[in-house]
Amino acid sequence: MGKLKVGVFGVGRGIDIAQNFKLLNCEIVAMCDKRKDRMDEAIKKMNDSTIAIYNNFDEFIHHDMDAVILANIFHEHSKYAIKCMEKGIHIFCECISNGTMAEGVELIRAAEKSSSIYFLAENYPQMIFNREIKRICDNKTLGKILYAEGEYNHPGNPDDSSFRKTYNYFEKHWRNFLPRTYYITHSLGPVMHATGATPVKVTSFATFAPVSKDAPSASRVGDRVANIMTQNDDGSVFRITGCAGFGAHHNSYRVCGTEGQIENLRGTNKVMLRYNGWSIPEGCEEINMYEPKWNDKDEELIVNSGHGGGDYITARMFVECICQGKQPEHPFDVYSAVNMSSVAILAHRSMLEGGKPYDIPDFRNEECRKQYENDRLTPFYGSDGSEPNIPCCSKPDYAPTEEQLMKYHKSLE
């Protein structure tokens, strides 16, 4: 097989992903984005005059390429993934896979008819401590897995105007309507990967704590965190967040079994592995605190990659799937991707309904698909001008003040 020809749709995030594909000896052949300022910056970064430039996806998709990096608007990946599937183009899709339940149905139906490889580009399972957590789980020394936690905690400085100009640059931007359950794959993906479990039921509660009334803001979400609980297909339970904004920034994961537990220490790459005193495996101590090693042939490339090395490893996994002609394994395949999106969507509904439990549908089953094929509830504005039809906050009437909106718009000048 010759060099894989890769296109990039959405160059804001996509161009950073593309750098890893270049390291994997792939050729970036086309880029597409409506924003001229982002495209100009991407052209500078790539420094390759042979790359074709588009501002229309329907023109871009006809370019000769083997795979597409989908890094466009957060909740609008599915329809473009389906267009790629219809042309047999492989898909490396940023998270989440689908913004509505109906889109999840459509995505899986299209995937089952297509030869395309679909890979969810969830990179947090490949951070060094999460790789170690999975290694220990795979060794079975923890016994039967009963419980796991995943926290993606990313509070933002309300006075950071540079962030707004780059990531939150108009009032109807999706970040201003992002329920706390939706940005879920960075917390859920690693524990699904480590344990092999898949959620089948979800419930959620929010903590409402809006930013100061003096802060510039256009956000319609006053919640700081959604605490999400899932029951899983193996009987275990997960406690996870979406993108939380409490305490200080950290990524934190913990897996507990009948014989022991492992967790990363917040803010570091260290892990703590502990066993019960009566069931210590041979060669281990009761308490083991250490910094894991990569033990990977591409370590030099990994440590210089984004998101703790996860960007490179995830891209490498996708390329390997293409070269081997096989779909990725759980939790990077299309069924896992839609399952995670379903947890995000239905956890939000649970939160709005006081913690009501929701069954997570198994979209391998056509009967389950039929139940959701017309479910297009969304908290977001669409790029086509469509409006939200479900509240984005646990207090549906919450909105920024006129003063906050005035300061928000002024900060964008």
83 vs 89: CA distance, rounded Å: 9
**Could you tell me which residues are beta bridge partners of residue 216?**
none
Percent of the chain clearing pLDDT 90 (strictly above) = 92
Q: Is residue 149 a contact partner of residue 252, using CB atoms and an 8 Å limit?
A: yes
Q: Is residue 118 a contact partner of residue 111, using CB atoms and an 8 Å limit?
A: yes
Q: Which amino acid is at 359?
A: D
End-to-end CA distance of the chain: 49
Domains and CATH numbers, the chain: 5-123+320-324 (3.40.50.720), 125-299+334-372 (3.30.360.10)
| Segment 197-219, tens digit of pLDDT | 999 999 999 999 999 999 999 99
| Segment 324-338, tens digit of pLDDT | 999 999 999 999 999
Q: Read off the pLDDT band of 170 (50, 70, 90).
A: very high
How high is the pLDDT of residue 306?
84
Exposed e or buried b per residue across 383-399, where buried means at least 16 C-beta atoms within 10 angstroms of its C-beta: eeeeeeebbbbbeeebb
Whether residue 229 is predicted with pLDDT greater than 90 in this model: the reply is yes
Whether residue 83 is predicted with pLDDT greater than 70 in this model: the reply is yes
How high is the pLDDT of residue 138?
98
Q: Is residue 193 a contact partner of residue 380, using CB atoms and an 8 Å limit?
A: no
How high is the pLDDT of residue 147?
98
In angstroms, the Cα distances linking 148 to 48, 99, 188 are 45, 25, 10
Whether residue 1 is predicted with pLDDT greater than 80 in this model: the reply is no
Give a three-class secondary structure readout of the chain: CCCCEEEEECHHHHHHHHHHHHHCCCEEEEEECCCHHHHHHHHHHHCCCCCEEECCHHHHCCCCCCEEEECCCCCCCHHHHHHHHHCCCEEEECCCCCCCHHHHHHHHHHHHHCCCCEEECCCHHHCHHHHHHHHHHHHCCCCCEEEEEEEEECCCCCCCHHHHHHHCCCCCCHHHHCCCCCCCHHHHHHHHHHHCCCEEEEEEEEEECCCCCCCCCCCCCCEEEEEEEEEECCCCEEEEEEEECCCCCEEEEEEEECCEEEEECCCCCCEEEEECCCCCCCCCCCEEEECCCCCCCCHHHHHCCCCCCHHHHHHHHHHHHHHHCCCCCCCCCHHHHHHHHHHHHHHHHHHHCCCCCEECCCCCCHHHHHHHCCCCCCCCCCCCCCCCCCCCCCCCCCCCCHHHHHHHHHHCC
What's the chain's average pLDDT? 96
In angstroms, the Cα distances linking 56 to 10, 11, 69 are 11, 13, 15
| Segment 181-190, tens digit of pLDDT | 999 999 999 9
Lowest average pLDDT, out of 222-231, 297-306, 372-381, goes to: 297-306
Cis peptide before 240 (omega within 30 of 0): no
Instruction: Summarize the confidence of residues 82-86 as an average pLDDT.
Output: 98
Q: Is residue 224 a contact partner of residue 180, using CB atoms and an 8 Å limit?
A: yes
Whether residue 304 is predicted with pLDDT greater than 90 in this model: the reply is no
Q: Six-digit token pair at 412? A: 């964008």
| Segment 264-292, tens digit of pLDDT | 998 889 999 999 999 999 988 999 999 99
Instruction: Summarize the confidence of residues 156-166 as an average pLDDT.
Output: 89
Q: Which amino acid is at 30?
A: A
358 vs 337: CA distance, rounded Å: 18
| Segment 172-181, tens digit of pLDDT | 999 999 999 9
